[in-house]
Amino acid sequence: MWYAVPTLHNTVSAVGKESFMKRQQEEFTALYCRLSQDDGREGESNSIVNQKEYLIKYAKEHGFPNPKFYVDDGYTGTNFDRPSFKEMSADIEKGIVKTVIVKDLSRFGRNYIEVGSYSEIIYPEAGVRFIAIMDNVDTGSLESNEFAAFTNLFNEWYPKSTSKKVKEVKKAKGLAGEHLGAPPYGYLRNPDDKTRWLVDEEAAAVVRRIFSLCMQGKGVSDIATILWKNKVLTPSAYKASKGIGVAKVSENPYCWESATVAAILENVAYIGITESFKSTRLGFKSRKRIPTAKDRRAYIENAHTPIIDRDMWEKVQTIRENKRRPTKSGMTSMFSSLLYCADCGAKLSLAAANGYVHFRCSMYKRTSRTQNCTQHYIREDALNQLVLKQLQHFLSYLQQFERVFIKQQIDTTLAERRYELSAKQKQIEKDEKRIDELDRLFRKIYEDNVNGKLNDERFYKLSDGYEAEQEQLKQEIETLTAEVSEADTEITNVSKLIADTKKYTRIDELTPEILNTFVDKIVIHEREKKDGKRTQKIDIYYSYVGIVDIPTDEEMREMEKAYMQHTTRQTA
């Protein structure tokens, strides 16, 4: 029986054909689709559904095998950090994608340098054919569009232009008081208006506690430790517990960071101010943000309900600016940063010697050999007693003779500033008259110039001089007006101090919170020896009003009696 023996040629051809068919089955034709939020505004033609239909129809009509979709829905084209694009690139590296087809170049990307790099270098070197149907780009055809580079350049211009328009819209919204970012800890988005915030009372209570602890003299590290020991959820952990999405939640939900506490204490949002444009992107291609200078940010007052009283917030900022750092031995004092030398104005520094904690002039400490100042030595325990005694007397005085104190402060303020304010008001009126006069002079020289009575050179010289003088006068009026209005502010400050005193019925012990509430600074004089006794004067500058000359009880009764008689005559 005869058998047909296969020749070598027939055997190789059969194996090659089988290998070729198997490789064809494993290789894909990548159909890439992309759509960003901005692209979606162009209409249905660029929708993912439309792109898929368009690409699959093209692949079938032109015989491209095994079409596989790679879809990035909601991703910008300004960079290639997209999940499906990365998957497609990985398949290209494996050698299972030999053709990439997109509807047009803008679907592939909007960065003309990178798009050109892929289509002209990376894909050809990898043996991959790239087709952008509507732009007539086909790296496997000699008739491919030679102007593809210009198309890529235009595609990049589009997101750049869109980015600029979006920035302008956000700027307008920010200046109108709308909140552009997520609300800080202590606030929630208003469900009826996403651009507005509502107070989250549970978190707001923690914010108030943080400010209160700072007023009590606690540093940010101490506050963080207190919150951790009390098992208070960190802002990110709290939001996550409420189902609010956060970028990252710490492993320990109670581990507060000092930086987080500091950020809360310095955030103007807690006094009802919206701070917009705090950072900006380097460019429309970059995701990196850089801080914006403070003077380029927008601050909108009364944008939402405050959590913290403005007076407390300002006092906390003062405390933060004058942080009470421990000495080398670890000592701290609630008086640190509040004490000043009466002679040179330097701050007093904390030290310990002979078993006593004391303060002395920092200028003396630095220049004791040259004797630029004297010690102004005062023990902390003695200072504590002096300040406590004066505060007790001051509080008693305000509680018993509030009306007299208010009248005395207002009368003193106005008496001291009456002449000064009158002079400034007269200067404002004088400047306003001069501005009107300059307007008349400008109109005259303009008419003379038009009529040929004044040449152009002389006209420009005079007009420049008049405009410069007017600008200077306007700035002076603005400054003087602000200074005149300060009298009203000082009267308001008296009311703020009275409100603070009503929080305390009596003071038995001096605490950091009481000290920070009532005292702005304490000036320490040098000790004096009179009649064999050493005395030392201290000046307490009270919050809002400065130094207060407290009369004796007898003098107060006389003033109260006189005030009541004056009031009775007015109402009779």
pLDDT 10s digits, 179-235: 566 788 999 888 887 778 899 999 999 999 999 999 888 889 889 999 999 999 999
At 479 the pLDDT is 75
Q: Side-chain half-sphere of 306: how many Cα atoms within 13 Å?
A: 14
> 257: part of which helix (H) or strand (E)?
none
Q: In tens digits, what is the pLDDT along the chain, a chain of 572 residues? A: 333 333 334 433 444 445 444 455 578 899 999 988 665 555 555 788 888 998 999 999 989 999 999 999 988 887 888 999 999 999 999 999 999 999 988 889 877 678 878 888 888 888 899 998 888 888 877 655 454 444 545 545 555 555 555 455 555 555 555 656 678 899 988 888 777 889 999 999 999 999 999 988 888 988 999 999 999 999 988 888 888 877 677 778 889 999 999 999 988 889 888 876 555 554 444 455 666 666 666 667 787 889 998 888 888 888 887 666 665 666 778 888 889 999 998 889 888 888 788 999 988 877 766 677 888 999 999 999 999 998 888 888 887 777 767 766 666 555 555 556 667 677 778 878 888 887 888 788 888 888 888 888 887 888 888 788 888 878 877 777 766 665 556 666 777 777 777 788 788 888 888 888 888 899 999 988 877 788 888 999 988 778 887 777 777 677 667 767 766 665 65
- Angstrom distance (rounded) from CA 441 to CA 455: 16
- Angstrom distance (rounded) from CA 320 to CA 9: 90
At 498 the pLDDT is 76
* Superfamily of segment(s) 14-158: Resolvase, N-terminal catalytic domain (3.40.50.1390)
In which residue are the tokens 């020289």 written?
445
pLDDT 10s digits, 402-453: 776 776 666 655 555 555 666 767 777 887 888 888 788 878 888 888 888 8
Q: What's the chain's length in residues?
A: 572
Q: Which of 269, 354, 339, 346 is nearest to 310 (CA)?
A: 269
Report yes or no: 210 and 235 within 8 Å, Cβ to Cβ. no
CATH topology for 177-323 is Hect, E3 ligase catalytic domain fold (3.90.1750)
Measured in degrees and rounded to the nearest 5, phi and psi for residue 546 equal: 80, -145
Residue 85 CB coordination number (10 Å): 21
Residue 540 CB coordination number (10 Å): 19
Return the domain boundaries, the chain: 14-158, 177-323
Residue 286's alpha-carbon distances to 73, 76, 123, 282, in angstroms, are 20, 11, 25, 6
Beta bridge partners of 356: 353
Report yes or no: 47 and 73 within 8 Å, Cβ to Cβ. no
Structure tokens at 570: 């007015």
Structure tokens at 302: 């009364």
- Angstrom distance (rounded) from CA 265 to CA 323: 13
292: left (phi over 0), alpha (psi -120 to 50) or beta: beta
- The pTM is what? 0.51
At 311 the pLDDT is 84
Task: Give residue 138's Cα distance to chain centre.
Answer: 50
At 454 the pLDDT is 81
- Angstrom distance (rounded) from CA 476 to CA 464: 19
Q: Side-chain half-sphere of 95: how many Cα atoms within 13 Å?
A: 2
- Angstrom distance (rounded) from CA 500 to CA 512: 15
- What type of residue sits at position 432? E
Q: Which of 44, 36, 96, 90 is nearest to 66 (CA)?
A: 96
At 490 the pLDDT is 60
At 324 the pLDDT is 62
- 3-class secondary-structure state, position 188: strand
